[in-house]
Structure 1
Amino acid sequence: MNRHLKFGIEEEYFITDLNSRCMSGKPPGAAIDACKAVLGECFALEMFQGQIEVASPIFTSLAQATQYLGSARQELRLALASYGLGLLTAGSHPLADWRTQQATEQMHFLKLFEDYQHVAWRSLLSGLHVHVEVPGHLDRICVMNEVLPWMPLLLALSSSSPFWNGADSGFMSYRQTACDEWPRMGVPEYFEDQAAYDAYVALLIRTGAIRQASECWWGVRPATRFPTLELRMTDACPRLEDALCIASLFRLLVAWAIDQRRPGSTWSQQSRWILQENRWRAKRFGIHASFIVEGYDRPFSAEQWLFMAEQIFGDAAQAMGVEEVFPQARRILRDGTSAERQRSLYRQVVGSTGDVQAALSAVVDQLLMETEEQPCINRAVCES
């Protein structure tokens, strides 16, 4: 087991007007420059001017990721505060209105808006993306097929997008529902190996369907610029400790898959059908969904599925020194996801005041506060 398997994390953030609590449509250029100054080459623009990204350096330990991302969030928050702006991360912004947003004026993004029209304009979404290295002698698609069945559990744990365009969507991850408007998102097509994947991508490029392989945006994919497997399905997490838990789980899954004699050998069309169904359940019901586990004729709760994961991957977690990932995931199941906290606060404020706008503003304040919190991997100790 590779204890020091390299990985990286990308977090997307909404720039928020602290007066209106709305997503900023066009932040001052000086504010963006200030963010660039604190992050350097790890700063990235996003499709919308009111959204930015941190693309982390390469990590070899969870401690490195904790330190870097905790610092990055704080430095970005301080850089924006001088301009009356806040930093918020979640799968969707409760008060964002896509009709008021401005596109980032870079050719890559402008081409996306030209090609995908309202689908692109409606994509006010923030994700948690995790890259994990796969040794060059291994087939990344086979490794991907080994970890794919577990992705709905990670999505459920990350769910943080119940609100869309100022209304309760009824979903725990509306972000994933919005992603389904795009081609080549969500669950990957069925590929037996890297050769089959490469042939598919080559056909799309030859026929003009896509310009480059990076336009395959599936929830898990082989990265084009790095020798990694990339998780894209999960929502951005307001609490950094939740993001780190999910990143660590994905890294553990990849490490375990790499250690298998024939990774992905049991992946089938039926496996993919089950994955599709489980993803639907995760985005609709989050951690309260019941899930299908291949080979069993009864549904599994999220708690039961996580217990199964710990039985399978627990030894690998010990070998990698990340055994705390399972208590942390159980804490999310016990205390609730961001989506649940948002909806609970919203209903509480609406119930006491009848004011929907005040309730949405309160949810934004909650998300701003949680984005600001420093991570506590052992919350029981932090709260004692």
Structure 2
Amino acid sequence: MEPHFDGPNYTLGIEEELMILDGDTLDLSNSIEAMLEDAPPERVKPELMESVLEIATSPQPDTASAGRELRELRRLVSDTAAARGLAIGSAGTHPFAMWEQQRIVGRDRYRDLVSDLKFVARQEIIFGQHVHVGLDDADKAIHVANGMRIHLPVLLALSANSPFWRADATGLASTRTPIFRAFPRVGIPPTYDDWEDYAARIGFMVRSRVIEDYTYLWYDVRPHPALGTVEVRVMDSQTRIEHTLALTALIQAMVKELAEHFEAGKKLSKYPHQMIDENKWLAARHGLSGDLVDLPGTDRVRTLELARRLLDRLREHAQDLGSTAELEGIEDLLERGNGAARQRVVYEANHDLREVVAEIVAATAV
């Protein structure tokens, strides 16, 4: 496994998993092959289900550039969908879809995945946002990935955008989280001593033939040696693109802080894995409206307070990276609520989940 952490530091790539919908009924539509006919293959890709597509930016130097490309991609797939009687929506789950009605994409990787995981893969009709941040050193990437673990619950609370599942109000802010938890090799990752330790442990799994390569590790944060990035995967897909970019800016600032921590020769604090995982559960359950444990202490604090404290600490890094404007979207999430809270407001008016999906489609458009 040859690492390609060649830099420059802090370049960005954004991936969004989006819903393909019937333009009239707003049900999920098994239409990925029609969506791919005229699409650039590096930027618009299939996922496990035929009702899901992924858009992915090219590597970009900053959030403004990534945002411009992401808007172009959202417009491209929305226009392509409209021409075929379809629509595009972005959220962590489709509020009333049934996984039994979804077809698996006709690609070897996905068919093999279903063959290996059975029901666990078949019921995974969920949608996430992934952010890649480039780095120039493999050991630095391991340090950053280790350090990002403590921030994952706050990122999940900010991004939680899946309160409905199979036509049910689940009581969770991120229903996507426990659905994906059924997969192996997910959630809060282990820590690694350095690149050599990471490569040895992943190499053992490959030689044991339990995974084909490191891309079958679906942890909430992982080094991506082929791309030379650290990839953060804990977030639900965002309906509003300004929230996608705000989370991207926040993650980029986190990575910068941790990279500089590594460059200064400092050691990371140690946090109990089970308590980071417990915080992640609290974030999935309550989103921004609950509490998290203020690690390494035992006090519980309002999630909003913890997120605000983190935002204030990272503003200077965002300013250095030129992403102050995009970071303002975090203020909007803190003041007006995350996607889950906004979906609930729409639902409470008429208890109409199709109205919720219609609002998602309208807000997804750019």
SS of residue paired to 2:132: strand
Give a deviation string over 1:134-191, Cα, whole Å, max 9, x none.
Answer: 1126432211112221111111111111111121121111111111101111110233
- Equivalent position of 2:267 in the other structure: 265
Are 1:23 and 2:56 matched, yes or no? no
SS of residue paired to 1:157: helix
Unaligned runs of 5+ in 1: 351-358, 375-384
SS of residue paired to 2:69: helix
Are 1:364 and 2:365 matched, yes or no? no
Percent identity over paired residues: 26
- Output the CA distance in 2 between the equivalents of 1:3 and 1:308: 29
- Equivalent position of 2:3 in the other structure: none
- Output the CA distance in 1 between the equivalents of 2:115 and 2:135: 35
Greater CA drift, 258-267 or 73-82: 258-267
Give a deviation string over 1:22-47, Cα, whole Å, max 9, x none.
Answer: 101x227444314x1xx453111111
- Equivalent position of 2:189 in the other structure: 188
What is the identity, as a one-letter code, of the residue corresponding to 1:314?
A: R
- Equivalent position of 1:343 in the other structure: 344
Say whether the 8 Å CA contact 1:3–1:321 is kept in structure 2.
no
Pairs within 5 Å for 1:26-45 = 26-27=30-31, 29-34=33-38, 36=39, 39-45=40-46
TM-score by length of 1: 0.88
SS of residue paired to 2:113: helix
Say whether the 8 Å CA contact 1:179–1:185 is kept in structure 2.
yes
Greater CA drift, 239-248 or 315-324: 315-324
- Equivalent position of 2:278 in the other structure: 277
Say whether the 8 Å CA contact 1:172–1:339 is kept in structure 2.
yes
Give a deviation string over 1:32-85, Cα, whole Å, max 9, x none.
Answer: 314x1xx45311111111111111111112211121111211121111112210
Shift of 1:229: 0.2
Say whether the 8 Å CA contact 1:184–1:216 is kept in structure 2.
yes
- Equivalent position of 1:253 in the other structure: 254
- Output the CA distance in 2 between the equivalents of 1:328 and 1:125: 23
Say whether the 8 Å CA contact 2:14–2:129 is kept in structure 1.
yes
Give a deviation string over 1:180-219, Cα, whole Å, max 9, x none.
Answer: 1011111102333333322221221122211111111100
What is the identity, as a one-letter code, of the residue corresponding to 2:238?
A: C
CA distance 1:365–1:200, shift in 2 (3 Å): same
- Output the CA distance in 1 between the equivalents of 2:183 and 2:242: 30
Say whether the 8 Å CA contact 2:289–2:302 is kept in structure 1.
yes
- Output the CA distance in 2 between the equivalents of 1:275 and 1:176: 14
Say whether the 8 Å CA contact 2:47–2:54 is kept in structure 1.
yes
CA distance 1:218–1:30, shift in 2 (3 Å): closer
What is the identity, as a one-letter code, of the residue corresponding to 1:89?
A: S
- Output the CA distance in 2 between the equivalents of 1:47 and 1:160: 20
- Equivalent position of 1:172 in the other structure: 173
The count of residues paired between Structure 1 and Structure 2 equals 359
CA distance 1:343–1:7, shift in 2 (3 Å): same
- Equivalent position of 1:381 in the other structure: none
What is the identity, as a one-letter code, of the residue corresponding to 1:27?
A: S
- Output the CA distance in 2 between the equivalents of 1:322 and 1:187: 27
Greater CA drift, 146-155 or 109-118: 146-155
CA distance 1:325–1:271, shift in 2 (3 Å): farther
Say whether the 8 Å CA contact 2:90–2:237 is kept in structure 1.
yes
Pairs within 5 Å for 1:69-88 = 69-88=70-89
- Output the CA distance in 1 between the equivalents of 2:14 and 2:114: 26
Say whether the 8 Å CA contact 2:136–2:228 is kept in structure 1.
yes
- Output the CA distance in 2 between the equivalents of 1:41 and 1:290: 40
Give a deviation string over 1:310-360, Cα, whole Å, max 9, x none.
Answer: 34323222222223455421211111111111122112212xxxxxxxx11
- Output the CA distance in 2 between the equivalents of 1:56 and 1:298: 40
- Output the CA distance in 2 between the equivalents of 1:28 and 1:232: 22
Say whether the 8 Å CA contact 2:8–2:136 is kept in structure 1.
no
Shift of 1:258: 0.7
Pairs within 5 Å for 1:127-142 = 127-136=128-137, 138-142=139-143
- Alpha carbon RMSD of aligned pairs, Å? 1.9
What is the identity, as a one-letter code, of the residue corresponding to 1:102?
A: R
- Output the CA distance in 2 between the equivalents of 1:29 and 1:311: 44
Pairs within 5 Å for 1:1-384 = 5-24=10-29, 26-27=30-31, 29-34=33-38, 36=39, 39-136=40-137, 138-260=139-261, 261=263, 265-268=267-270, 270-350=271-351, 359-372=352-365, 374=366
SS of residue paired to 1:234: strand
Shift of 1:303: 2.4
SS of residue paired to 2:324: coil
- Output the CA distance in 1 between the equivalents of 2:125 and 2:347: 20
Shift of 1:94: 1.0
Unaligned runs of 5+ in 2: 1-6
- Output the CA distance in 2 between the equivalents of 1:29 and 1:197: 37
- Output the CA distance in 2 between the equivalents of 1:133 and 1:160: 27
CA distance 1:320–1:32, shift in 2 (3 Å): closer
